[in-house]
Structure 1
Amino acid sequence: MKNKISLSILSLAVLLSCKNSQLTNTTADTKSVSVKLTDNQLMDKVQSDALKYFWDFAEPNSLLGRERYHEDNIYPDNDKHVVTTGGSGFGLMTILVGVDRKYIPRREAVKRLTHIADFLEKADRFHGAWSHWINGETGKVVPFGKKDNGGDLVETAFLVQGMICVREYFKNGNEEEKALAAKMDKLWKGVEWNWYTKGGQKVLYWHWSPSYGWEMNFPLEGYNECLITYVLAASSPDYSIDYDTYNKGWTRNGTYTTDRTKYGLPLYVKHNYAEEFGGPLFWSQYSYLGLDPRGLSDKYVKSYWDLNRNHVLIDYKYCLENPYKYKGYSEKYWGLTASYTRNKDGSVGYAAHQPMKEDFGVITPTAALSSMPYTPKESMAFLKFLYEEKPNFIGQAGPYDATSVNFNDWTTPRYLAIDQGTIAPMIENYRSGLLWNLFMNAPEIRNGLKKIGFKSTEHKIQ
């Protein structure tokens, strides 16, 4: 691939240069290497590994993130040129981490990001929104389902979250970087957020299709992973929503709050279809790669930090309780979120893993790793367990998507962009606050948050 950077060489160099590091069980197969590193070295290792998904294994024409990557080479042609909009937004943030940590050259990253912006400008759009999947060769929509062949506002929001971070990172750079920032700025400002209110209803809708119109009929109502969509819609200079759309749509007129607790921890909001435990952990991650929950509040939620941290801790405590008595669940092996899964017949499927409802003995590495800002001690224990005790759970682009100690160290040697793409950004937010600071520094975001009643003590938004 053009401009390919060998991160495996970089990672090996990092390991060899680390003081007090120790390689054990070394063989020609790098997957069987077990390492002993400091906490910072481990975070460098997993961040640079996860970056490979979006750098070495990107779709070759668009250079966007593939929907999935099959290291086991099973059915690779099914996904060869299918790129994912939301996962690619996470990939933009991952690339920024790579630049800031000097895992990849800044100049090469600018070239790649410019290429991506040019591709997205020509790709199919539906009132400014991109589709869930895009053909990386042609820019044409790849239907996610029969009626899902048009605009996907939530996936678009995840992409735009990354675009704004890219703009902020490069806007004061050299001429090439300023040009990149301008391209990203134009792209995100072209999304017609208010059009997705279906004729002015006080709620945003997830999908619109040129063939099926609004037939999917999926209003975005809290609480789940979609908060960022309302924040961006309120922040748009030309296609903004008003406060009532946020209040009546997302918060259901404030009725989405709850006094329920679990393990003594308040949940604060009614997680859709998961009111007892809070649902899969990606709900505490996708909207918060850029949106900083530290010191963030609104009329109904006094602390988004506590909301997210409690969500993660409830998942953690549930895994320790382990009501189904799965082998392996422990303080260092935990975390339930949507990913590949092991079906009863041993085949590979997909599930929104979460406490009780969809707990099948499968632990998804991104769940704990991408929770690093909320639970650094517990997430670090998981990271050490993976790299020091379970190297068979690690592949070319970091931890595999799904694992199970319970099923004799079962894993699927495959990756999903939406899972791999949250690891480096969320760990970086823990380490330096990079993406949080970039996103919250955007003037449109600050104005949008004020407009719908948010405050942030961390970023002086009142």
Structure 2
Amino acid sequence: MLEPAENIEQFQIDRLQEEAFGYFVEHSDPATGLIADTALPGAPASIAATGFGLSCYSVGVERGWLTRRDAARRVLTALRFLDQSPQSRHRQATGYRGFYYHFLDLRTGERAWQSELSTVDTALLIAGCLTAAAYFSGTDADECEIRALADRIYARVDWRWALNRGDTLTMGWRPPGRFLKHRWRGYSEALLLYVLALGAPEHAIEPQHYAAFAEGYDWIPVAGETHLHAAPLFIHLFPQAWLDLRGLGDRPMRARGTDYFKNTRRAIALQRDHARSNPGGFAGYGEHLWGLSACHAPRGRRRLRDGRWQWLLGYANRGAPFGLDDGTLVPWAALACLPFEPEAAHAALTHMAAGYPGLLNKGRFAGGFNPSLGGGGPEGWIDERVVGLDQGLVVMMIENWRSGLAWTLTRTIPAIRLGLKRAGFDGGWLRETEAACG
């Protein structure tokens, strides 16, 4: 067991960010540039993790962990593969209609696990392509090619096809020709998907489709304010890894006198309130140990440390309030919330460093843990997975807190500005940009 002073050193933010960044160097395929879904041996690539990785390479350059040339070559390898890999109705293709399958063989790029052609995960991938293109703005051949490939990959996505003649975007498609029955309607991580689909240079959807998406919003009263509810933490965080929504509101937000950044701060406060009140009586929960989101856990009936029996949910979208909770927390929550609530995030990191040193796996936070379950230490059960999405979110959110790098880059992307405007966003940097232009 580490001494408390050593624990706090181990949990230093700089070190955690560098270790999280290292995931994308260690778990990318040198031939395809794709990023593994998890650090487990044999894991397939995740196109969403690849999108995070493409965005994180710029952080590596700025922090001195990677040379600009090396980072550009890594981006170029991935974009060349994405551009040239098979797009067809074939079951083992890499994608179709410009979209990509959720999981791909890391080395061949063929569809893995019979996964779906995923609209939202493709959006995360495209966001990574565009962020990399915005960063690599030089005149040498590699950086020029990065921008050309990113533009072509984005322009190829047939967002209108993904509507499947409906008023909102479908969640995906499976070969040989079946759309998933569920659609992106109501507040979710698909906020980023809609912005990209509205701002696309080709096959863009129309503003009424965003209006239909927002019609499904679930508003709840919180401390005299109106809050846009989503129980899992990642829903609030994923779009804002890329989108600077400070002071920006679409029509539903403006009508209620708030914005998505403030809404996320309320969501964090609600999670902390839930941990303090701890209605499930789970071990460890409190003001400085919180974070309910999508993660893995054991599944089935298990005896807790205090002797009670609890049904564990396996992989689930945990959240609060009004969400699923079986005592399983995500340890990366504090780092991902730094731009929104830095004091609460620092307090949580100090608390975890002092009391839960086993949460780090080779310097990186595990995907989840459940201190209510028996185990070798106070952490209880710890997920053996280190997850690419978690590491990418940590790298980007720490950097947005430190320097605002991803937000600065995406503010320069015309498609992002156009997508936000067509969705009805106003205020913040959008208004400042318009004022500066004339």
1:301 maps to 253
2:296 maps to 340
Per-residue deviation, 1:178: 2.3
* 2:390 paired residue among 419, 422, 442: 419
1:379 maps to 345
Per-residue deviation, 1:154: 0.6
2:309 maps to none
Q: Distance in 1 between matches of 2:284 and 2:172?
A: 40
Matched, 1:328 2:300: no
2:268 maps to 312
Matched, 1:256 2:221: no
2:201 maps to 237
Q: Distance in 1 between matches of 2:199 and 2:154?
A: 11
Q: Distance in 2 between matches of 1:396 and 1:50?
A: 10
1:54 maps to 24
Deviations 1:83-130 (A, max 9, x none): 001121112222221111112222211111111111212332211111
Deviations 1:123-146 (A, max 9, x none): 32211111111112222112455x
* 2:6 paired residue among 12, 34, 39: 34
Matched, 1:135 2:91: no
2:308 maps to none
Q: Distance in 2 between matches of 1:348 and 1:300?
A: 34
2:138 maps to 172
Matched, 1:93 2:93: no
1:12 maps to none
- Which residue identity is paired with 1:107? R
* 1:349 paired residue among 291, 314, 318: 314
- Which residue identity is paired with 2:168? V
Per-residue deviation, 1:155: 0.5
Determine if contact 1:51/1:397 at 8 Å carries over to the other structure: no
Per-residue deviation, 1:400: 1.1
1:292 maps to 244
Matched, 1:213 2:178: yes
* 2:80 paired residue among 118, 122, 134: 118
Give the TM-score taking structure 2 as reference length: 0.86
Per-residue deviation, 1:265: 6.3
Q: Distance in 2 between matches of 1:377 and 1:304?
A: 20
Deviations 1:211-257 (A, max 9, x none): 1322x222211111111111000110111111111112x112xx625
Deviations 1:163-200 (A, max 9, x none): 1110100123533222222222221221111121113x
Q: Secondary structure at the match of 2:181?
A: coil
Q: Percent identity over the alignment?
A: 27
Per-residue deviation, 1:397: 4.7
CA change 1:397–1:114 in 2 (3 A) is farther
Per-residue deviation, 1:376: 0.8
2:307 maps to none
Q: Distance in 1 between matches of 2:268 and 2:242?
A: 18
Q: Distance in 1 between matches of 2:343 and 2:15?
A: 17
CA change 1:100–1:61 in 2 (3 A) is same
CA change 1:144–1:301 in 2 (3 A) is farther
- Which residue identity is paired with 2:217? Y
Deviations 1:266-287 (A, max 9, x none): 4533x4xxxxxx3110011111
Q: Secondary structure at the match of 1:241?
A: coil
Determine if contact 1:450/1:461 at 8 Å carries over to the other structure: no
CA change 1:237–1:98 in 2 (3 A) is same
Per-residue deviation, 1:406: 2.8
Q: Secondary structure at the match of 1:328?
A: coil
CA change 1:202–1:461 in 2 (3 A) is farther
- Which residue identity is paired with 1:109? A
Per-residue deviation, 1:393: 1.0
| Structure 1: segments with no counterpart, 5+ residues | 1-23, 27-31, 71-75, 272-277
Matched, 1:430 2:401: yes
Within 5 Å, give how 1:61-72 maps onto structure 2: 61-70=31-40
Q: Distance in 1 between matches of 2:427 and 2:61?
A: 28
Q: Distance in 2 between matches of 1:386 and 1:55?
A: 27
2:413 maps to 442
1:247 maps to 211
Q: Distance in 2 between matches of 1:361 and 1:413?
A: 17
2:46 maps to 84
Deviations 1:273-330 (A, max 9, x none): xxxxx31100111111111110111111121111111111111111111112222112
Q: Secondary structure at the match of 1:268?
A: strand
Per-residue deviation, 1:210: 3.2
Q: Secondary structure at the match of 1:239?
A: coil
Per-residue deviation, 1:60: 4.9
- Which residue identity is paired with 1:403? F
Q: Secondary structure at the match of 1:261?
A: strand
Matched, 1:391 2:361: no
Determine if contact 1:401/1:420 at 8 Å carries over to the other structure: no
Q: Distance in 2 between matches of 1:393 and 1:403?
A: 8
CA change 1:182–1:388 in 2 (3 A) is farther
Pairwise CA RMSD: 2.4
1:188 maps to 154
1:6 maps to none
| Structure 2: segments with no counterpart, 5+ residues | 86-93, 304-311
CA change 1:211–1:197 in 2 (3 A) is same
Determine if contact 2:359/2:365 at 8 Å carries over to the other structure: yes
1:409 maps to 379
- Which residue identity is paired with 1:157? A
Q: Distance in 1 between matches of 2:387 and 2:242?
A: 20
Determine if contact 2:16/2:364 at 8 Å carries over to the other structure: yes
Name whichever of 355-364 and 433-442 sits farther off: 355-364
Name whichever of 238-247 and 170-179 sits farther off: 170-179
Q: Secondary structure at the match of 1:193?
A: coil
